[in-house]
Amino acid sequence: WALCAEGFMLDMPILTTVGALIGCSGAALTKIMCDAMNRDILSVILGGYGTKSSGKGEAMTFEGEVTQTSIDETCSLLMESESVIIVPGYGLAVAKGQYPLKEMVDVLRSAGKKVRFGIHPVAGRMPGQLNVLLAEAGVPYDIVEELEEINDDFDETDVALVIGANDTINSAAEDDPNSEISGMPVLRVWRAKQVIVMKRSLAAGYAGVENPVFLKDNTDMLLGDAKDTCEKLAAGVKALSGK
């Protein structure tokens, strides 16, 4: 909008038009992200983050132990399952692991597994980043579904494979009214029979909120670089499938 105002001051219609286009695009993107995170746009503009439904007390403290798994165990689990939902996050984009992931998905699908991707509206650094990432690797559009389309299917899913996502799968958004992300729509991966979370470390996500999903009994952590791990998983499932 500053560029637009500068165009008015300098009597330069082109500068005014370009500034208006940039300003409108930014406003539209802000509105999309606010809707996806269940946040009031006015509150965000004024510097607030919470929603009207958020509590005023301290956030819940979650107890439990993190359990880790291995490449071999994960490959066996994937090959024994019938349905898999993969939830990619910014970590996948940073590691550029979409190509070995696509290779692994191809092997699983050729083995008769039902494999789909669940995409959160604000996964990555902007809406649509993960959709573009998967399309770039050649992932079929018909197995890439949005949060509203796939969220109810986790109850009937054998394995939820989370790759580099954190806040977008945080159950505290639903379970803790005092959490900073309370009210934000999240992918309910914890409802799957087994959850495998691939992360570089156990650090908190962008919002800095503890994720109780990591502590649940049906969750195992597979730590390491996303690209390297996806390459090993692709090679592992290929070996088990005999291809």
- Catalytic positions are 90, 125, 206
Measured distance CA(78)–CA(194) in Å, rounded: 10
First to last CA, the chain: 56
For residue 113, which amino acid is it? Answer: K
Q: Is the separation of the CB atoms in 88 and 57 below 8 Å?
A: no
Dist. CA 100–CA 103, nearest whole Å: 5
